[in-house]
Amino acid sequence: MTSGKQRGRLSREVLVRRALAVADREGLDAVTIRRVAGDCGVTPMALYWYFRDKEQLLAGIAEYLFEQVQMPSTDNAPWDAQLMAVLSALLTVLRQHSSVAGLIAGYVLSSEAGLRVTERVLGLLRDGGFPPGQAAVTCTQLVAIIALITGPPGPDRTLEPQACESAVRARLAGLSALDPARFPSVIAAAAPLARRDDDQRYYRSVLQMLVGGAHAMAAQLAERGCGTQRQLGVPEG
């Protein structure tokens, strides 16, 4: 049975942080009410004061992640530069917990913290000329893509340097041995595909690609006018 003293040490944040620790070590599937309760030294019943079921616990994890986003201050920079800063702040948090990053797209509108991020992104897209319907679609896509890129390609970052180099050599050998008639482009790019790229450069280039795409869409909307909404198949408004 859980004592009052043990229950007094619990809080939503304590439980969420413990659940995150489990997910970081073992993956999201390992996070259950029973597992988190056991790690906290209490019975599952004690967690029901804070989370009725696993769904609520997952929502709590997503809320906690959004709360950690250090939103950049509003300034006079162009809208796309500000959008880059916001997405970078979100990515910084998610990279620390890549095993649960996929949660955020489904819970972005479920908490004050998630709504704060959504409002900022939508506002910047509106500044760029996106009508509400297209801004909503693009905002959802940006958040979902950010969640997907938390783990850069290449060898496992937890490997020792020697093991990492061995993994790179093995991947390079495998790519180089492909049939040149079928995969000429892959073979030509074998070395950069095989090696472990610099993390900062990798993430910066991904964000530049995403924001550059949003900028190109804004230019297209401005050129074609409101009829573009119907062409793109998004709600008007």
Could you write out the DSSP letters of every residue in 47-73?
HTTT-SSHHHHHHHHHHHHHHT--PPP
Side chain identity at residue 20, one-letter code: L
pTM of the predicted structure, to 2 decimals: 0.78
pLDDT number for residue 8: 52
CA distance 230 to 182: 40
Query: Mean pLDDT of residues grouped by 10 in the chain (237 residues)?
Result: 56 94 93 93 91 93 95 91 95 92 88 93 93 91 88 57 80 90 89 75 87 93 63 44
What is the pLDDT, as a whole number, of residue 235? 45
| pLDDT value for 234 | 46
Give the pLDDT of residue 120: 94
Q: What is the predicted pLDDT for the residue at 152?
A: 57
The confidence score (pLDDT) of residue 153 equals: 58
Instruction: For the chain, list the domains and their CATH numbers.
Output: 4-52 (1.10.10.60), 67-152+197-232 (1.10.357), 161-194 (no CATH)
Q: In this predicted structure, what is the pLDDT of residue 38? A: 93
Residue 189's pLDDT is what? 85
pLDDT of residue 93: 94
The pLDDT, as a whole number, for residue 158 is 52
Which helix or strand (DSSP H or E) is residue 159 part of?
none
What sign does the CA torsion over 147, 152, 153, 157 have? negative
